[in-house]
C-alpha cells in the first residue's frame, strides 16, 4: 500500500501555497523556486502557468515541486517561457486529488487566456456550481476554484478585470488568488484577508507569494501585504491597486501563526517573525499553565519555538527529548497496518538519555484527533519519563475549518467530544493544558480576544466570520434525509 503523508495525519493541514512573478524573462524559474519555499503548504501537486506575450504555457503534475521542476527536468521550465508566471502547490481541499484539479486552472475566455491559482476555499461553491450547471456551464474539474472561472466568463461586463471583480462579488469564503491574463498578473485577497498574500520586489520584478519566505528564496524585498479586499493588477513591472469591496474589519487566519506558516516567514499583522510569535505563545503558555518539572521538550518540529518560549519564561531547561527523522519521504510504503500504527516511531524517536528519570513538559502546537499525542506520551514513558505534562500552544481545536484547511469532521476532533479530564485520560498524560484564547491574542501583542477579534479563530471559537452556505445546505439535506429515514422506519 502506498499512502500520502501517513504520519502527519494528526495535524490541520494548510491546503495551498501560491506564487507569482512579473516583469522578468524566465519568470517561471523564479516561480519554481518560490513554490519550493512554500512546499510546506501543500505536497500533493504543483503547477506553473507562464505567458510569453502571445501564448500561455502550463505544466502541472502530481508530486513535490522538486520532483516536477528539478534540474533533471529542466525541459519543464524551458517549456514555460515569458515574463509573467504564476504557480501553485496543493493539498486537496475540495475536489478529489486528480490532475484535472491541479492548479493553475486555465480557460480561454472571450478576452483571451485566463489562469488562476487559489489558496483558500469558496464556502458557497457548491451552491454556485449547481446554479451554473443548471444554466449550461460544463465543469472540467471538481475544484471550487473553477466556479470563479465560470462566473468570470459569464459576467456581463465588457472588460476581463471587471468581469473578474463581478465574479468575486458572488463568492463567499476565503481566497488569495494569483491570475494571469493577456493584460497582466492579478493578485487579490478576500475582503477579510483570511488567507495570506504578500507583495515583494526583486529589482523591478514584482513578486507575490503566500508567505514572505517565498520572497526570501528569490532574493526579493518584502514590500507589504496585499491588503484584505485589495486587488492589484501588475502590468510588466507597474502595479495598480483596486479596492472593489466595501471595507470590512480584517480576519486573517490565526492558525497561520500557530502552525501553518514557516517560522522564518513574517507574521505581518503581528509585525514580527512567525518564530517570534510562536515563542511568545510558549511564554504565555508558561505563565498560564505552570508546572513543576525537570525539562521542557518540544514535539518537533512544529512545537519547538513554543517550547523555547515556555522554557525561557519558566526557567525549566529546554532539551531535545524527541528526535525527528528528516529523511522520511512524502510517501512511504507501509506493508502492514501494524507498521502504520507504529508510524509515529518512524518519524519521532525518544532521546532516552535526556528523558529517563525526568519529569517532562511536552509542548505541541495543537491536538487534532489526539492519536499522535497519545503515542508520543507513551513514547516518553517507555523512555523512562517519570511524569509527562502536555502543554498545547493553541486553544482546543473544536470546530472544522471551511476556509482552505484540511480538518477532520467535528466527530473526530478530540476537543469537540471530550472534556479536558477525558482528553488527559485519552492521551494518558499526567496533566494537559491549553493556552487560553485571550492568551493567544496576548502573544500577538493584543490585550485579549475582545468582542471583535482581529483574526479568524473559528476552529477554536466556532465563530465563523463568513456565511457557510454550502455547509448549511449540506446540513439541511442531512436533516431531510433523517426525516425520510424516520418516516420510512415508522
Ligand atoms: Fe484558520 Fe481556523 Fe479560521 Fe480555518 S477556522 S481560517 S484554520 S483560524
Instruction: Name the residue at shortest CA distance from atom 6 of ligand 1.
Output: 253
What is the model's pLDDT at position 296?
Answer: 98
CB of 38 closer than 6 angstroms to any ligand 1 atom? no
Q: Would you state the cell numbers that stand for residue 231, as one nine-digit string?
A: 486587488
pLDDT value at position 355?
A: 98
Q: Give yes or no for residue 326 having a pLDDT over 50.
A: yes
- Per the CB < 8 A criterion, the answer to whether 176 and 226 are in contact is yes
Query: 206-235: string of b/e by CB count within 10 Å (b at 16+)?
Result: bbbbbbbbbbbbbebebeebbbbbbbbbbe
Residue 363 has pLDDT above 60, yes or no: yes
From the CB of 413, is ligand 1 less than 6 Å away? no
pLDDT digits (tens, 9 = 90+) for 375-414: 999 999 999 999 999 999 999 999 999 999 988 889 999 9
Distance 314 CA to ligand 1 centre (A): 29
Per-residue pLDDT tens over the stretch 437-468: 999 999 999 999 999 999 999 999 999 999 99
Q: How far is the CA of 106 from the centre of ligand 1 (A)?
A: 28
Tell me the CA–centroid distance for residue 435 and ligand 1, in Å: 17
CA dihedral 213, 217, 220, 222 (to 10 degrees): 10
pLDDT confidence of residue 331? 43
Q: Is 255 in the pocket of ligand 1 (CB under 6 A)?
A: yes
Q: Which helix (H) or strand (E) holds 3?
A: strand 2-4
Cα angle 166-172-175, degrees, rounded to a multiple of 5: 85
Task: Supply the residue whose CA is at minimum distance from atom 1 of ligand 1.
Answer: 253
Nearest CA to ligand 1 atom 8: 457
- Ligand 1 atom closest to the CA of 465, numbered from 1: 3
Say if CB 437 and CB 384 are below 8 A apart.
no
User: Which ligand 1 atom is the nearest neighbour of the CA of 194?
Assistant: 6
SS3 content of the chain, % helix, strand, coil (to 5): 35, 25, 40
Report whether pLDDT(274) > 80. yes
Q: Check residue 74 and give its pLDDT.
A: 79
| Residues of the chain above pLDDT 90, percent | 80
| Ligand 1 lined by 253 (C-beta under 6 Å) | yes
Distance in Å, CA 260 to ligand 1 centroid: 10
Cα of 215 to ligand 1 centre, how many Å?
24
Which of 120, 396, 403 is the pocket-test mutation for ligand 1 (most atoms within 8 Å of CB)?
403
Atom of ligand 1 nearest to the CA of 460: 2
pLDDT tens, 203-246? 999 999 999 999 999 999 999 999 999 999 999 899 999 999 99
Mean per-residue pLDDT, 27-41: 96
Grid coordinates belonging to 271: 509585525
Q: Is 405 in the pocket of ligand 1 (CB under 6 A)?
A: yes
Pick from 5-14, 39-48, 117-126, 458-467: least confident:
5-14
Quick one: pLDDT band at residue 474, thresholds 50, 70, 90? confident
The pLDDT assigned to 116 comes to 98
Q: In the annotation, is 456 catalytic?
A: no
257 lines ligand 1 (CB under 6 A): no
Say what the pLDDT of residue 187 is.
98
Euclidean distance between CA atoms 230 and 195, whole angstroms: 13
Q: How far apart are CA 3 and CA 1, in angstroms?
A: 6
Q: Give pLDDT, residue 12.
A: 77
pLDDT tens sequence across 64-118:
999 999 766 778 999 999 999 999 999 865 666 688 889 999 999 999 999 999 9
- Cβ of 458 less than 6 Å from ligand 1: yes
Contacts (Cβ under 8 Å, ≥6 apart) of 419:
none
Q: Where are the alpha helices (H) located in 208-303, listed in sequence order?
A: 212-217, 255, 274-288
Does the beta carbon of 456 lie inside 6 Å of ligand 1?
yes
Q: Per-residue pLDDT tens for 164-175?
A: 999 999 999 999
CA 7–ligand 1 middle distance (angstroms)? 22
| Model confidence at 264: pLDDT above 70 | yes
Ligand 1, atom 2, lies closest to the CA of 459
* pLDDT value at residue 447: 96
Bridge partners (DSSP) listed for residue 257:
none
Query: Ligand 1, from 189, 401, 441, 455: best to mutate by most atoms within 8 Å of Cβ?
Result: 401
Ligand 1 in reach of 427 Cβ (< 6 A)? no
pLDDT given for residue 9 in this prediction: 56
What is the number of the ligand 1 atom nearest to the C-alpha of 397?
A: 2
pLDDT mean over 251-274? 93
In this prediction, residue 1 carries a pLDDT of 25
Say what the pLDDT of residue 479 is.
56
pLDDT value at position 11?
Answer: 75
- The pLDDT confidence band at residue 2, using thresholds 50, 70 and 90, is very low
Mean pLDDT along residues 258-270: 92
Checking if the pLDDT of 5 tops 50, the result is: no
Among 46-50, 272-276, 367-371, the minimum mean pLDDT is found in: 367-371
Atom of ligand 1 nearest to the CA of 407: 7
Output the pLDDT for position 345: 64
From the centroid of its chain, how far is CA 330?
17
254 pocket-lining for ligand 1 (C-beta < 6 Å): yes
Give the ligand 1 atom nearest the CA of 174: 6
- Ligand 1 touching residue 194 (CB < 6 A): yes
Q: Among all chains, which residue has been given the C-alpha cell 508530486?
A: 63
The pLDDT of residue 317 is 98
User: Average pLDDT, whole number, for the chain?
Assistant: 91
- Decide whether any atom of ligand 1 lies within 6 Å of the 192 Cβ: no
Q: Identify the active-site residue in 16, 188, 456, 459.
A: 16
Top pLDDT among 64 and 12 is at: 64
Q: What is the pLDDT of residue 338?
A: 57
Quickly state the pLDDT bin for 6 (edges 50, 70, 90): very low
CA distance 490 to 487: 5
Amino acid at each position: 500500500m502506498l499512502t500520502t503523508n501517513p504520519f502527519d495525519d494528526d495535524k490541520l493541514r494548510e491546503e495551498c501555497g501560491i506564487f507569482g512573478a512579473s516583469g522578468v524573462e524566465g519568470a517561471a524559474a523564479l516561480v519554481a523556486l518560490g513554490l519550493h519555499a512554500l512546499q510546506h503548504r501543500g505536497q500533493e501537486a504543483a503547477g506553473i502557468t507562464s505567458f510569453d506575450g502571445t501564448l500561455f504555457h502550463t505544466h502541472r503534475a502530481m508530486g513535490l515541486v522538486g520532483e516536477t521542476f528539478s534540474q533533471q527536468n529542466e525541459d519543464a521550465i524551458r517549456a514555460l517561457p515569458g515574463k509573467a508566471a504564476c504557480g501553485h502547490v496543493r493539498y486537496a481541499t475540495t475536489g478529489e486529488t486528480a490532475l484535472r484539479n491541479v492548479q493553475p486552472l486555465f480557460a480561454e475566455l472571450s478576452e483571451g487566456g485566463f489562469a488562476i491559482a487559489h489558496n483558500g476555499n469558496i464556502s458557497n461553491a457548491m451552491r454556485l456550481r449547481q446554479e451554473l450547471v443548471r444554466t449550461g456551464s460544463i465543469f472540467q474539474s471538481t475544484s471550487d476554484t473553477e466556479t470563479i472561472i465560470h462566473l468570470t466568463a459569464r459576467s456581463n461586463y465588457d472588460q476581463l478585470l471587471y468581469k473578474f471583480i463581478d465574479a468575486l462579488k458572488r463568492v463567499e469564503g476565503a481566497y488569495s488568488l494569483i491570475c494571469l491574463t493577456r493584460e497582466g498578473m492579478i493578485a487579490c485577497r478576500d475582503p477579510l484577508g483570511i488567507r495570506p498574500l504578500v507583495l515583494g520586489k526583486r529589482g523591478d520584478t514584482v513578486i507575490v507569494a503566500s508567505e514572505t519566505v517565498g520572497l526570501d528564496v528569490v532574493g526579493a524585498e518584502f514590500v507589504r501585504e496585499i491588503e484584505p479586499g485589495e486587488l492589484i493588477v501588475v502590468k510588466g513591472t507597474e502595479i495598480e491597486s483596486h479596492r472593489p469591496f466595501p471595507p470590512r474589519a480584517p480576519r486573517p487566519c490565526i492558525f497561520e501563526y500557530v502552525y501553518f506558516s514557516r517560522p522564518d516567514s513574517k507574521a505581518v499583522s503581528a509585525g514580527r517573525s512567525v518564530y517570534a510569535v510562536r515563542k511568545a505563545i510558549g511564554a504565555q503558555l508558561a505563565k498560564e499553565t505552570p508546572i513543576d518539572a525537570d525539562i521542557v521538550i518540544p514535539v518537533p518540529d512544529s512545537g519547538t519555538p513554543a517550547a523555547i518560549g515556555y522554557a525561557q519564561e519558566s526557567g525549566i531547561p529546554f532539551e531535545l527529548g524527541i528526535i525527528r527523522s528528516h529523511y522520511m519521504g512524502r510517501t512511504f510504503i507501509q506493508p502492514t497496518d501494524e507498521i502504520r500504527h507504529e508510524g509515529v516511531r518512524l518519524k519521532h524517536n525518544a532521546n532516552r538519555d535526556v528523558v529517563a528519570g525526568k519529569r517532562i513538559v511536552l509542548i505541541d502546537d495543537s491536538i487534532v484527533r489526539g492519536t499522535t499525542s497519545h503515542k508520543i506520551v507513551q513514547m516518553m514513558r517507555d523512555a523512562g519519563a517519570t511524569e509527562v505534562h502536555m502543554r498545547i500552544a493553541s486553544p482546543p481545536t473544536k470546530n472544522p475549518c471551511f476556509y482552505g484547511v484540511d480538518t477532520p469532521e467535528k466527530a473526530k476532533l478530540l476537543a469537540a467530544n471530550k472534556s479536558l479530564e477525558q482528553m488527559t485520560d485519552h492521551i494518558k498524560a499526567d496533566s494537559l493544558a491549553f493556552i487560553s484564547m485571550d492568551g493567544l491574542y496576548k502573544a500577538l501583542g493584543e490585550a485579549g480576544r475582545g468582542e471583535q477579534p482581529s483574526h479568524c479563530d473559528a476552529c477554536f471559537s466556532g465563530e465563523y466570520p463568513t456565511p457557510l452556505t454550502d455547509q448549511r445546505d449540506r446540513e439541511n439535506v442531512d436533516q431531510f434525509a433523517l426525516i425520510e429515514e424516520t418516516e420510512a422506519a415508522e
